[in-house]
Structure 1
Amino acid sequence: MYNIVFQNDHLVIVDKQALVLSVPSRIGENETRPVLGLRLESDLGITLYPIHRLDYEVSGLIMFAKTPQAQKITNSWFEKKEVNKTYSAISSPLVQNSENLFNVGENYLWKCRLMRGKKRAYEAPHGKESVTKAKLIEVRNDFFHWELNPVTGRSHQLRYELFRHGYPIVGDDLYSSTKKFELPGIALRAFKIDFQNTKNADVLELPPFIEISKNN
């Protein structure tokens, strides 16, 4: 379900497997899917305080605070956009062999206004601003490898952006992908969290960044 990547008296950072909830869902007692936060609390024997989430289908780095004070500090980092998270994604064009709109090695800035429906995100004039930095790393056999930095933290932000541009994430049938992912979940992984622009990182005894393999 998880591997602990970093831990001290203030925080625990783990590599979450796909098909695991970050925290309990709204379904409550009827929820049957595994929940990372509850499992961690049980294994560590302490109360944990959520800081951010990863979608059920997504793998990678996620942080939990061990104290309310640590949660308050880290929450302020995310609110002020001082934490830089980087995701690896593999996508495939909806129309095979279509003209490629993106160039390997180039950086892109994607903006839209997002709302969250019951299952999917969608664009709306009154939606919340969504900003994503994207870089195309490689194209191989109609598979596009990306590095993505969500400047904002909207629900399904990265999944919707690649779908919006015609390149849904492999395995993400919720956003029209027709490609099967060989591993559980979808081909989206949070592999790096950078704390170098945060304030009080030294108080929480954090390294400049945490990075794991881009591969699940």
Structure 2
Amino acid sequence: MEYTITLPENHPEITLRQLLEEEWLVPRKVRHFLRIRKNVAVNKQTAMFHQIVRSGDQITLVLEADDYQYQAIALGNPALINVLFEDEHVIIVNKPAGIKTHPNQPTENDTLLNHLAAYLKPAGTQPFVVHRLDKETSGCIVFAKNPLVLPILGRLLESKQIQRFYQAIVEGQLSKDLTISKKIGRDRHDRRKRIIDSKNGQAAITHVHVLKSGATSKIICQLDTGRTHQIRVHLLSIGHPLVGDPLYNPGSRKQRLALHAYQLKMPHPFSKKEILVTAEPGLW
């Protein structure tokens, strides 16, 4: 596959080697193949790794089939894909509630990743998982469309540059905004669940903004971290479990988990332009 990327305005002058290694996080083996095969060009001219690149330069990379390892994905139903944003490198979709993000077994073909693989197949591309949503959670989720962009998206996620906002409905009257900073760990008695574990858990931070308070409360949650079941466990820990949560609030009568990844904001991994998507309809 051939990819041409224009360096954005105000990009610092650096060597091509620095661009590939430090900014685009191209693996050493792939950089080696790009160099010896002369598969890198700057402004349509074969490039040397020591040359300087700057704003406005067009960098062309040609990736061979053996540069990256691909894992075969069973094809699902492309009609189930609701695209919120798509270009050559990134696709953001609106995940329905009730399906998993990705398969755990090679024979599975009814997860979001399977459906997205079927959607992308006519263009000869394949999806790569960047982050996950619980099976019961709906809304915005990002996938890479090629292995080149995957580590860059991973770094954006780790550095909190991919901002995620969730609509949620919780039991009880939650009267004021708050930030929950409780460590989350595995439940030793139920492998499906997570618990607050101040000693051995992983750091987790959830910001909660209250929109409407009553017998149930409508809130917006923003994550600084992405632990498994983070919002669900954090809200349970303060006595306000999510409405409809089959795992942490089994007595709730609502048909589905009241958690929806309503909005996502991030810089494009190459152009740096802001991407802002909203997954409609929401919970209210």
* TM > 0.5 fold call: yes
Please say which structure displays the higher CA radius of gyration: 2
Computed over aligned residues only, the root mean square deviation of the Cα atoms, in angstroms, reads 2.0
> Residues 168 and 283 of structure 2 are in contact (CA less than 8 Å); yes or no, is this contact kept in structure 1?
no
- Matched to 1:114, the amino acid is I
Structure 2 residue 276 is the aligned partner of structure 1 residue 209: yes
User: 1:38-63 CA distances to partner (integer Å, 9 max, x unpaired)?
Assistant: 11111220211110000001000111
- Give the C-alpha shift of residue 2 in structure 1: 3.4
| Structure 1 counterpart SS, 2:169 | strand
> Residues 152 and 269 of structure 2 are in contact (CA less than 8 Å); yes or no, is this contact kept in structure 1?
no
> Residues 191 and 211 of structure 1 are in contact (CA less than 8 Å); yes or no, is this contact kept in structure 2?
yes
Q: Percent identity?
A: 25
Aligned residue in 1 for 2:245 = 172
| Structure 1 counterpart SS, 2:283 | coil
Aligned residue in 1 for 2:91 = 12
Cα 1:61–1:192 shift into 2, 3 Å: same
For these two proteins, the number of residue pairs brought into alignment is 197
> Residues 258 and 283 of structure 2 are in contact (CA less than 8 Å); yes or no, is this contact kept in structure 1?
no
User: 1:69-91 CA distances to partner (integer Å, 9 max, x unpaired)?
Assistant: 21111100111112110000011
Q: State the alpha-carbon separation in 2 of the partners of residues 68 and 206 from structure 1.
A: 21
Map residues 42-191 of structure 1 onto 2, 5 A cutoff: 42-45=118-121, 46-93=125-172, 100=173, 102-103=174-175, 106-117=176-187, 118-124=191-197, 125-140=199-214, 142-182=215-255, 185-191=256-262
Task: Report the TM-score when normalising by structure 2.
Answer: 0.65
Gaps of 5+ in 1: 94-99
- Give the C-alpha shift of residue 143 in structure 1: 1.2
- Matched to 1:42, the amino acid is A
Aligned residue in 2 for 1:40 = 116
- Give the C-alpha shift of residue 64 in structure 1: 0.7
Cα 1:194–1:150 shift into 2, 3 Å: same
Q: State the alpha-carbon separation in 1 of the partners of residues 213 and 107 from structure 2.
A: 42
> Residues 70 and 204 of structure 1 are in contact (CA less than 8 Å); yes or no, is this contact kept in structure 2?
no
**More displaced 10-residue stretch of structure 1: 149-158 or 39-48:** 39-48
User: 1:92-125 CA distances to partner (integer Å, 9 max, x unpaired)?
Assistant: 13xxxxxx4x42xx43111111112311111221
Q: State the alpha-carbon separation in 2 of the partners of residues 60 and 123 from structure 1.
A: 25
